[in-house]
Amino acid sequence: MSPLQQQETAEEWKTLGNALFDQEDYKGAIAAYEKAVALDPKYAAAWYNLGNARSELDDHKGAIAAYEKVVTLDPKDTEAWYNLGNTRSELGDFKGAIEAYEKTLALDPEIAAAWNNLGIVRKSQGDLKGTVEAYERALALDPKLVVTWYNLGIARSALKDYKGAVEANERALALDPKYAKAWINLGIARSDLKNYKGAVEANERALALDPKYAKAWYNLGVVRSHLMNYTGAMEAYERALALDPKYANAWYNLGLAYEMLEQNAKALYCYERNTTLGDPNGKIKVEKLRARGINPRAIKFPDAS
């Protein structure tokens, strides 16, 4: 007789389900938990474990049904509310996820992960102030959440709190100095504060970590242009385009740098490439340079490897 035929009580079925879950036999665990809740539909712990097992097999709808049953039976089950939030978020039900995380935190406001996840889903709904509040609550509980510092920087920048964004990215980098994306965002926030030298340093740090980061090369070009280092800007945009030849903004800005260096034939080539990529910004530039009798001159980029 197989183990799935030997159990009699709901408790025995749950115990078997737990053993199968620990062995990563999630299908078997699901079958056992379903037997348990069929025998005792008010068995909240079995419903909870059933939700976990279904989640392991990416049956998010089934997991939600199980977790919702748990919180109906026991509205104070913090873990079930938290898992319900995670699973709703997985399915893109962000409003439902917000409700579940807020229920979680009403029961236990000391769960840093729930504050963090609440911040993520609030951001998806455009609630930037609520996002910042949630991330800050998470970080007050656990200041070592590197990605949360990074995400807080993004949210603060979106609210034009550039000083706060600089602080958040610097905190992320203090914890993980090899976080290239945080260096990029630090550079953007410093640039927004017109600290262009600091922005150059941040982008160069990002590129030391990831030389194939086209966005970092582009951003480096922008801040070098602000410092009127047009040769350096040109070199940075060329590196960006060697990595991503369809980077329309980089073509346009490279054209601007060439114009500042009075290399108009190359500038025209850049504006034409910008226009062919569907960006209308280069069209007026093309017309003006063509009217002056300038012909385009192609550019050979450095090896992106």
Residue 127 has pLDDT above 80, yes or no: yes
Q: For residues 263 and 297, what is the distance between their CA atoms, to the nearest angstrom?
A: 9
Q: For residues 168 and 172, what is the distance between their CA atoms, to the nearest angstrom?
A: 6
Q: Where are the beta strands (DSSP E) in 11-150?
A: none
Q: For residues 13 and 238, what is the distance between their CA atoms, to the nearest angstrom?
A: 65
**What global pTM score does this model have?**
0.87
Percent share of the chain, pLDDT over 70? 96
Residue 1 has pLDDT above 50, yes or no: no
Give the per-residue pLDDT at 19: 97
Give the closest residue to 158 by CA, choosing from 192, 181, 183.
192
Give the per-residue pLDDT at 57: 97
For 20-62, write each residue's pLDDT tens digit: 999 999 999 999 999 999 999 999 999 999 999 999 999 999 9
For 170-184, write each residue's pLDDT tens digit: 999 999 999 999 999
Give the closest residue to 50 by CA, choosing from 70, 33, 72.
33
Give the closest residue to 244 by CA, choosing from 229, 254, 258, 230.
254
Question: Superfamily for 211-305?
Answer: Tetratricopeptide repeat domain (1.25.40.10)
